[in-house]
């Protein structure tokens, strides 16, 4: 089955080309109650139908378990499980974690990929990026202290994450052939990187280059999500050959400025603030969505989305209003070559 127009536009962007009408891709869709209410469940069939109804170009195959998570959660007073820190303290903890047997996951993911492709859409698979995985496995305070007092420990921990990612690419990604791989990579606050830019590069660059080289050989484009300010993140991603960066958090970045400085070299995605989306009127949502689309797509290398995971505190009618505004947007009449 041929790809639908939305998916074709997205894959053109992933290939380094430009499109007048931005596609819609929500990398962190967390509105599971919304999905159940409107489409009856959260499985692959329901996600495909939701994507087609809302005009999303791509369907999530979800992540692959690398068995290296040490994040901890606690129940809040309102009964919600929230991240509360991390328990990673030694390399031995990581080395004791066996490599998972991915055979069952491969079987499931291959079947889901078949279903997605038969629907005319494309798919993405999530991998954990070394920075975010270790920072959350330790807790940000302990991570910040340890990175300066015991750099060899943090350096080795980062490498173990990427070693495991390379195994996933060699064994799972190569078998399943998702259309895009997304690295979960939060590494920035609203004012800038969580660590000094030179230290950031030292920690992530070479080992990430080795990881993504495997995706390059497979011909699978790769993208990264991070919250926060992107000024020091994007140049590193461009150098590493990332096709897209998702986030473009509106409280930390001026989308038009990001497009002006980086829009010729990498696709920008996101920017809709979920707090605004939860409180605005439908008309305000439509207006803000159009403003976002105009700013983001001025160089025809933009993907519409929220800047982080939309959750069920967003009214259904507001999320639908955003999706409809994206679908109805005609795009820029002039597309620079």
Per-residue pLDDT reduced to its tens digit, 204-252: 999 999 999 999 999 999 999 999 999 999 999 999 999 999 999 999 9
Residue-averaged pLDDT of the chain: 95
Confidence class of residue 72 from pLDDT cuts 50, 70 and 90?
Answer: confident
The upper half-sphere exposure of residue 80, i.e. CA atoms within 13 Å in the direction of its Cβ, equals: 6
Whole-model pTM?
Answer: 0.95
d(CA 164, CA 19): 35
The pLDDT value recorded for residue 79 is 59
Q: 5-70+83-328, what's its fold?
A: TIM Barrel (3.20.20)
Per-residue pLDDT reduced to its tens digit, 124-138: 999 999 999 999 999
Per-residue pLDDT reduced to its tens digit, 179-217: 999 999 999 999 999 999 999 999 999 999 999 999 999
Residue 210 near residue 154, CB atoms below 8 Å: no
Q: CA nearest 30: which of 325, 327, 307? A: 307
Per-residue pLDDT reduced to its tens digit, 6-28: 999 999 999 999 999 999 999 98
> Rounded mean pLDDT of 148-164?
97
Q: Report in angstroms the alpha-carbon separations of 101 from 66, 127, 167, 171, 332.
A: 10, 16, 11, 10, 47
């Amino acid at each position: 089955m041929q790809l639908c127009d939305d998916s074709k536009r997205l894959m053109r962007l992933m290939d380094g080309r430009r499109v007048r009408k931005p596609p819609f891709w929500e990398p962190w869709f967390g509105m599971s109650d919304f999905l159940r209410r409107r489409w009856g469940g959260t499985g692959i069939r329901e996600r495909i139908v939701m994507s087609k109804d809302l005009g999303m170009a791509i369907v999530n195959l979800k992540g692959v378990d690398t068995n290296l998570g040490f994040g901890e959660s606690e129940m809040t007073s309102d009964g919600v499980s929230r991240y509360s820190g991390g328990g990673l303290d030694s390399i031995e903890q990581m080395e004791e974690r066996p490599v998972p047997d991915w055979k069952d996951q491969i079987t499931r993911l291959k079947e889901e990929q078949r279903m997605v492709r038969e629907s005319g859409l494309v798919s993405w698979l999530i991998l954990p990026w070394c920075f975010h995985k270790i920072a959350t496995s330790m807790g940000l305070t302990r991570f910040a202290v340890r990175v300066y007092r015991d750099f060899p420990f943090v350096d080795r921990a980062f490498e173990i994450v990427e070693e495991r990612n390379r195994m996933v690419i060699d064994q799972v990604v190569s078998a399943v052939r998702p259309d895009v791989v997304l690295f979960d990579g939060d590494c920035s606050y609203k004012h800038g990187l969580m660590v000094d830019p030179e230290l950031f590069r030292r920690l992530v660059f070479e080992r990430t280059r080795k990881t993504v080289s495997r995706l390059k050989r497979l011909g699978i484009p790769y993208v990264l999500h991070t919250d926060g300010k992107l000024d020091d993140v994007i140049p590193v991603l461009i150098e590493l050959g990332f096709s897209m960066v998702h986030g473009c958090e509106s409280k930390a970045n001026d989308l038009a400025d990001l497009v002006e400085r980086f829009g010729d070299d990498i696709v920008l995605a996101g920017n809709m603030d979920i707090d605004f989306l939860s409180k605005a009127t439908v008309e305000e949502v439509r207006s803000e969505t159009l403003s976002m689309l105009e700013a983001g797509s001025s160089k025809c290398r933009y993907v519409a989305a929220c800047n982080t995971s939309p959750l069920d505190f967003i009214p259904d009618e507001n999320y639908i209003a955003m999706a409809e505004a994206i679908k109805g947007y005609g795009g820029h009449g002039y597309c620079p070559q």
